[in-house]
Amino acid sequence: MSKTKICSACRLLLDKGVGTVVVTLGSKGSFYMNYEESGWVQALGVDTIDTTGAGDAFNGALVVGLCREESLRSSIDFATKVAEHVVTGCTTTYLRFNLEIIYIRSSS
């Protein structure tokens, strides 16, 4: 899907009353839009083993960031790093998940 179509779809949802739209695009990153801001977040690129659970990890981490009262952009950056960490494993439960690693990646 083109960037123009993504933006148009997001605007349509905002016009319908949705407050914030976040579109995940896998290895291409994500796009977010609300009434105050919009932007593209690039994926860093990792050696992917299994994408199972990446979307769930992204959404969960996004909620964590927002609950910590981080900005939308910072929350999406964090969610991107968590999802990228998860896809480097080969099960839906990443046994070596370590938030300290995620926080270090988030600060870089």
3-state SS class at 58:
helix
Residue 50 among the catalytic residues: no
CA nearest 56: which of 30, 93, 90? 93
Catalytic entry in 15, 47, 50, 56: 56
CB-count burial class (<10 Å; 0-12, 13-18, 19+) for 39? exposed
Active site residues: 56
